[in-house]
Amino acid sequence: MTVIEQIKESTMKGAVKKVQELVRAALEEKMNAADIISQGFIPAMEIVGDKFKKGEIFVPEMLVAARAMQGGIKIIEPLFAPGERQYIGKCIIGTVRSDLHDIGKNLVAMILQGAGFEVIDIGIDVPAEKFVSAIQEHKPQIVGLCALLTTTLPEMGTAIQAIKTAGIREQVKIVVGGAPVTQSFADSIGADAYASDAGAAVEICKALLN
Ligand code: B1M
């Protein structure tokens, strides 16, 4: 089994220490950090999600897999962190109200930081009013909304509506993402853009600065 396959297996099993050990080994072998995420962690979480859907595993198993992934990401994170430098733009990112999923958001935030953005992560379960106050406080060019549950998708529309009502919609570009989000949903709630993954989010956010 290759190191990346072992990372995938150990993530699914929730073996945090093993995952961290393997990630260190992979980095020593000069493996690309983004490949560890896209070929190791993301497929592992897809399989875990699929098993959950089929009733083969339950929330605790999903949670330990998520913790293992986060443990591995901690090792990789410093490679994406910017040093002292000029930022190319400022972005606020958060997972909408009632939604506690943050792995994808954290990945997007990390990759945006690596690409030169100043990223203000306002967390999970973020009510619409908090997006508004964060925009007023930090004055970003871009606001990123994440949702992982079909039940929390409408919260994205609620947040955009609150931003409009506060009279600050024209000051920001709004990008939406997360597994259940689609381009047509993004259009229907009046977002400026939809990004299917972290790589696309970077390209889109850069384009939105112009
Ligand atoms: Co949850 N969960 N979960 N969960 N969970 C899903 C989302 C689910 C699809 C599983 C399933 O049934 N197959 C399902 C949702 C079904 C639906 O809505 N139709 C589900 C459910 C039902 C639930 C609970 C309701 C379970 C329960 O309690 N009965 C519950 C809800 C809690 C809540 O939020 N209120 C719940 C809880 C949890 C855990 C806490 C156990 C844990 C989350 C831990 C955490 O985040 N800290 C968890 C997990 C781990 C998952 C799965 C397995 C994995 C999610 C993940 O992290 N994926 C997930 C199944 C799945 O997606 N395969 C599932 C990896 C991550 C990198 O991908 O977040 O899609 P993703 O991010 C991608 C892109 O989407 C994109 O870029 C990322 C990287 O490429 N992206 C953006 C994301 N945000 C973006 C923003 C952008 C742009 C791109 O711009 C701003």
Would you state the structure tokens that stand for residue 79, as one six-digit string? 């490679």
* The predicted structure's pLDDT at residue 66: 87
CA-based torsion, 100, 93, 134, 171: positive or negative: negative
Q: Which residues of the chain have pLDDT under 70?
A: 81-85, 114
Question: Among 85, 81, 49, which Cα is nearest to 65's?
Answer: 49
Those residues with Cβ within 8 angstroms of residue 63's Cβ, 6 or more apart along the chain or in another chain: none
Quote the pLDDT of residue 83. 62
Distance CA 109, CA 17 (A): 24
For ligand 1, whether the C-beta of 98 sits within 6 Å is yes
Cα–Cα nearest to 67, from 14, 8, 23: 14
Residue nearest to atom 52 of ligand 1 (CA): 49
Contact 33, 76 (CB under 8 A): yes
Residue 64 has a pLDDT of: 92
The pLDDT score that the predictor gives to residue 206 is 93
Q: Which residues of 68-98 are buried (b: 16+ CB within 10 A; e: fewer)?
A: bbbbbbebbbeebeeeeeeeebbbbbbbbbe
Give me the pLDDT at residue 82, please: 63
Separation of CA 66 and ligand 1 centre (Å): 10
Q: How far apart are CA 158 and CA 130, in angstroms?
A: 12
Spatial neighbors of 149 by CB under 8 A, at least 6 apart, are: 98, 99, 101, 180
Joined tokens for residue 185? 């949903």
Distance 148 CA to ligand 1 centre (A): 5
pTM equals 0.88
Nearest CA to ligand 1 atom 20: 149
Mutate to test the pocket of ligand 1, among 101, 126, 192 (most ligand atoms within 8 A of CB): 101
Tokens matching residue 8: 């995938």
